[in-house]
Structure 1
Amino acid sequence: MKNQVLGVLLLVLSWVTPAQANVVLPRVLAHNMVLQRNKPLPIWGQAAPGETVAVQFAGQQVSTVADAAGRWQVLLQPLATSSTPAELVITGRNTIRLRNVLVGEVWLASGQSNMEYTMRKNSKATIPATEDASPLTELERAHNPLIRIFLVNRKELVKPDSLHRGWSVAQDSALRSFSAPAYFFAKELNQRLNVPIGVISSAVPGSRIEPWIAEAAFQQDSYYATQKVDGDPGKFYEPMIRPLVPFAVRGFLWYQGESNCFLAETSTYTHKMKTLIESWRAAWQDSALPFYYVQLAPFKYSESKDTKVPLNRETLPRFREAQTAALQIPYTGVIVTTDLVTKLDDIHPPYKWKIGRRLAWLALAATYKKHNVPVSPVYQSMAVKGNEAILSFQNFRSSLVSENKQPLTDFQLAGPDGVFHPGQARIKGKRVLVSATGVAQPVAVRFGWDEVAKPNLFSKSGLPVRPFRTDAAATNPTTATTEVSK
C-alpha cells in the first residue's frame, strides 16, 4: 500500500516539469462544475515553483505564489447561489478559463456496487406492473442544466486533463454511466431547494469499507493497535477520494456494507465507519460535514455459497444494528430500505430512485432544516402492561399505518426464558401493542429481525419503520440526525 501511495504522489508531482511550466488543475476543477455556496472555496493546482497564480470569479480576484514543489492554493470567499453560468479564470504563465460554472450545493457519493449502479442499469430494472415505472425512463427526459455530475474514474482522477472535462450536465451519455442513487438524490434536492446541485460519484463494485479509509487513519487510531486490518486499506481512498480534497462539499452519501456483511461483521464495522467518517471530515477540515448512509436491504445472505465465515438469518439484522450504532457519531443519518426489494436473491435491488429520494429527504430534514419531508419512525422505548409490550416511536410527524392494510408482520416477543415467538401486533395512535401466544410476561421485542423480513409497519407519509430489537444495548437513533450546520 505504501508503494501505491508513493505512486500516486509521484504522479501528482509529475504534473509539472521544468519543460512544462503551465498552470495545471486537478480534474475536479473543470468546465460545468458546481461550486459549493456559502463556504470558503479552495482553488488549487500545480505550477512552476515561484510562479504567481491568480484566480478570478464572481467579482473576486486573489493570487498566490506556487511553493518549491509547485503547489499553489487560493481561497475564494463564500459565494451566494447562482444559476447563471459564469467563467472562472486562472492565470499564470498560461490562462485557463473554466466555462459554465454554477454555485449551489455539492455532495460526494461513495460506496460499492449499489451506489455505483448506473442510470443505464436503472433503465433496465424490473418492478411490479402496479408500480410507477416513470423513473425507469428518466434518461429520456433528463436535461436539467442545474444538475451537474462528476464521475470518478479510479485510473484518471490523479491525472490532469488539459481539456478540463469531467463535470457534465446530467443528461445523455454522461448520465447513462452515472450513479442512479446519486442522480435521483440530486434531482430531488434540486426540486426542493431550487438551486444548482452538483454530485460527485466515487464508488467501486464489491468494495469493502477498508479501501475507502486512508492507511494512516487506521495507524492513528488506538482501536486497531492490537489487530491487523486487512481489506487493502487506502486502496481506493488514495486514487479516488484524496485527489478530491479540498474541493468544497456540503456532505457525504454512503451506500456500502454488503461486502462486510458477508464477513458477519458487527461492532468492528461500526468502528470502521467511525474511522472513515472522522478521517474524511479531517481531510476536508470540517468536523460537522453531514454523512448520510443506506441501511442494507433484505437479501438471503445465509444461502450464499463459498462465504469466508458462517452466515445465518440473523447476520443481516446484526449488521444493520452495527450500521445503526454509527448514529452515535454526530451529524449522521440513515435511511431504511426494507421495502425496496423485488427478489430476495438479488443483492442489487431496483428502486434506486427511491434510495436517492430518501437520502435527499434525510438531507432536507437534517441539513437544510425543512419540515415538510417524510422521515422514518424509529423505536424509542418499551413498556409492559399485562401480557402486552407497548412500543413507542419517535422521529416522525404522521401516524403509523399498515402499508398494505394487512395485520402487522415481523414482530417477535419473548418472555423471561428468552425464547422468541411470533407476535401479534396492533397500532394504537403512535404506539404499537405486541402480544404472543404463550408469552404471559413480555420481556423483549424484535422487529424485522430476519434477513428476508419486509415489514408492513410504516409512517403514514410512506416510510418503513427501522428494524430493531429491545434486548440489546441501543443508542438514541435520532440525536445524531439533528442540528447539522449549514
Structure 2
Amino acid sequence: MLLRLIKYCWLTICLLSSGIAGAQVVLPKILGNNMVLQRNAPVPVWGTALPGEKVTVKFNSQTKTTIVDASGKWIVKLDAMPASAKPATLTISGKNTIQLQNILVGEVWLCSGQSNMQYEMRKNSKVKKPDTSTTNSPVDELDRAHNPQIRIFLVTQKNMLKPDSTHSGWSVAEDSALRAFSAAGYFFAKNLQHDLKVPVGIISSAVSGSRIEPWVSQEGFDAIPYFKANNIKIDGDPGKFYAKMIEPVAPFALKGFLWYQGESACFLGETISYTYKMEALINNWRKLWGDKTLPFYYVQIAPYYYTHGKGPVTYTQFTEPELREAQAAALQIPHTGMIITTDLNDDLKNIHPPFKWEVGRRLELQALANTYKQRVVFSGPVYKNMKINGDKIILEFDHVGAGLVSHDGKPLTDFTIAGADGNFVAANAAIKGNTVEVSAESVAKPAAARFAWSEAAQPNFYNKDGLPAVPFRTDNPLKFTLTAN
C-alpha cells in the first residue's frame, strides 16, 4: 500500500512538472477550434489530467464521461454523427473547462509524403498559368479561397508534442494559414467538399526531401518478413517522422490517407524493396488507427531527368520507370489507389512540377469512386494482358472509360517493342476498339512491349475521360507477395 502511494505521488509530481499545471485537463494539439470531426464513425476525444480525475465531454446532444487512468491519460468516444456544417462547441470539463469553438462534422483525410506533397499554396500562386486558364485559374486560388466548410491542419516536426493552450492548430482554408498549406491536399479537399456537399478537414504532415523510412516505425518494418529474409537493413532514420508527425495525430478519426513520395527512393535506385516499404507504411498506419480498411491513395512520381544528377547509383532512363513499377505493384495491397502524373510536368529539370490542382483532383476521383462509391471514372487505361498476332502485339486494358484515345489527336507515342533478343525499338501503335496494336518493321517476331518506359516519357495515350495511361512493361520481372496480416 505504501509503495502504491509513493508511486502515485511520484506520478503526480511528474504530471505537474511536465506541464499539467494544477492537474488541469490538457488536450493534444490535433484537437482544437475550427476542426472537422469525422462523420458516421465513433470520434475519439482524449488528453491528459490527474489520475483518478473525472472528465466530461459534451458535444451537441452527447455527454460522455470517463476517469483518468493511472498514467494520467483519458479517452472517450463520441457516437457516430451525420455531417453538419453548423458550427458547434465541444466542451471538455475536469478540474478546468475547455471549450473548442466552431466545430463541424464531415470528412477528414491525412496527406503526407515529401516535398511534392508539402508544396505550399504560396508556390502554387507563382506557377505560370496554363494557356487554357481563365479568370478562375487555380493559380489564383489564394485570392478567392474562403470556404468555411474546408478546414486545414498543418503538422510540423515541432508543433505536435507540445500542448497548445490556445487550441489554434486548425484554420479555415484561407489567408496565411492556406499559404503555408499543401496545395495537393487543399485541392483534394476543395473538390471533395464541392462533390459531397459536406465539410472537409485535411491534415498535412509532410517533410521536404524525406525518404519513406522515417514515416514508418521500426516495428512496422519488422512486421514485413521480406527485409529479414533478404538481409535488407532499414536505414534512413526509421520512425523519426512517424513518432513526431503521425503518431501524435492518432487516434483522431479520419477517413483515409493520401501519399505523395518516391523521388528520394528513385535517387536511391530502389525497385521491389520500395513496394515492401510501402506495405510496411500502409500496414503501420492502419494498425495505429486500428482499421485495416482505411483507404490509402497515392501519387506515382512525375517525369524528371534523374540521369542529369549524381547520386549513390548510376541512373539510366529506366531508373524512374522501374521505381514507378514498384509503386504500381503496391496496388495489390487492399484499399489502395494510384494516380498518374506523366502529363503533369512542364519542365523535366524541375522535380517539383506545377499542376498540383490536378494532382488533388485525380486523388479525389480515387476517393469518390473507391471510398464513396460514386460512379466516376477514376483511372486511365491500365495494362491487362497481351496477345501476339503475327508481327503485332495486341494490348488489352482495364479502365478504358468511355474509350481509348490519343489525347492530342496525333499518333500514339512512347510505345516500344522487342523480339526475343530484348532489343526494344520505337513501335507504331494504333487504337483498335479497346485494344492497342503495336508493331515495328524491324521486329518480325515480337515478344514484349513497353509503354512510357523512360524518365522523359510524356505520352498521349489516355481514355476519353481525360486520364493518362499507366506506364508498364509486359516483360515485368517484379514479383511482390503480400505479407499476411
Which TM-score applies when normalising by structure 1?
Answer: 0.93
* 1:460 has 2:464 as partner: yes
Counterpart in the other structure of 1:481 = none
**8 Å CA contact retained: 2:108, 2:256:** yes
- Structure 1 position 46, deviation (Å): 0.4
RMSD, matched Cα: 1.6
Counterpart in the other structure of 2:295 = 290
Counterpart in the other structure of 1:172 = 175
**8 Å CA contact retained: 2:32, 2:170:** yes
Counterpart in the other structure of 1:322 = 326
Aligned with 2:359 (options 338, 355, 360): 355
The 2-side partners of 1:474 and 1:383 are apart by: 20
SS of the residue corresponding to residue 252 of structure 1 reads: strand
The 1-side partners of 2:461 and 2:17 are apart by: 56
- Structure 1 position 372, deviation (Å): 2.9
Aligned with 2:414 (options 396, 407, 410): 410
Match for 2:396: what amino acid? S
Query: Deviation digits for residues 240-292 of structure 1, max 9, x if unmatched?
Result: 00000100110000000101110000011000000000010000000000000
- Structure 1 position 374, deviation (Å): 4.2
The 1-side partners of 2:20 and 2:467 are apart by: 59
The 2-side partners of 1:426 and 1:260 are apart by: 34
Query: Deviation digits for residues 106-139 of structure 1, max 9, x if unmatched?
Result: 0000000000000000000124434457000000
Match for 1:277: what amino acid? I
Counterpart in the other structure of 2:236 = 231
Counterpart in the other structure of 1:109 = 111
Counterpart in the other structure of 2:145 = 142
The 2-side partners of 1:338 and 1:169 are apart by: 32
Query: Within 5 Å, which residues of 2 pair with 1:363-402?
Result: 363-402=367-406
The 2-side partners of 1:17 and 1:162 are apart by: 11
SS of the residue corresponding to residue 236 of structure 1 reads: helix
Counterpart in the other structure of 1:470 = 474
The 1-side partners of 2:409 and 2:359 are apart by: 24
* 1:258 has 2:258 as partner: no
Aligned with 1:36 (options 28, 35, 38): 38
The 2-side partners of 1:466 and 1:89 are apart by: 49
Question: Structure 1 residues 270-279 or 18-27, which shifts more?
Answer: 18-27
Counterpart in the other structure of 1:4 = none
Question: Structure 1 residues 218-227 or 346-355, which shifts more?
Answer: 218-227
The 2-side partners of 1:92 and 1:169 are apart by: 29
Aligned with 1:270 (options 263, 267, 275): 275
Match for 1:181: what amino acid? A
**8 Å CA contact retained: 1:16, 1:48:** no
**8 Å CA contact retained: 1:112, 1:206:** yes
Aligned with 1:204 (options 199, 207, 210): 207
* 1:47 has 2:49 as partner: yes
* 1:218 has 2:208 as partner: no
The 1-side partners of 2:68 and 2:318 are apart by: 56
Counterpart in the other structure of 1:156 = 159
SS of the residue corresponding to residue 248 of structure 2 reads: helix
**8 Å CA contact retained: 1:127, 1:350:** no
Query: Deviation digits for residues 349-372 of structure 1, max 9, x if unmatched?
Result: 000000000000111011111113
The 1-side partners of 2:355 and 2:16 are apart by: 43
**8 Å CA contact retained: 1:209, 1:272:** yes
Distance change (3 Å), C-alpha of 1:55 and 1:213: same
Aligned with 2:80 (options 78, 81, 84): 78
Query: Structure 2: which 5+ runs fail to align?
Result: 1-13, 481-485
Aligned with 1:335 (options 324, 336, 339): 339
The 2-side partners of 1:15 and 1:157 are apart by: 19
Aligned with 2:59 (options 41, 49, 57): 57
The 2-side partners of 1:62 and 1:327 are apart by: 40
- Structure 1 position 375, deviation (Å): 2.4
**8 Å CA contact retained: 1:26, 1:45:** yes
Distance change (3 Å), C-alpha of 1:144 and 1:345: same
The 1-side partners of 2:233 and 2:470 are apart by: 33
Match for 2:163: what amino acid? P
Distance change (3 Å), C-alpha of 1:310 and 1:15: farther
Query: Deviation digits for residues 428-480 of structure 1, max 9, x if unmatched?
Result: 1111111111111221000000000000001111110000000115789xxxx
Distance change (3 Å), C-alpha of 1:28 and 1:13: farther
Match for 2:428: what amino acid? Q
The 2-side partners of 1:324 and 1:263 are apart by: 18
* 1:451 has 2:455 as partner: yes
- Structure 1 position 416, deviation (Å): 1.8
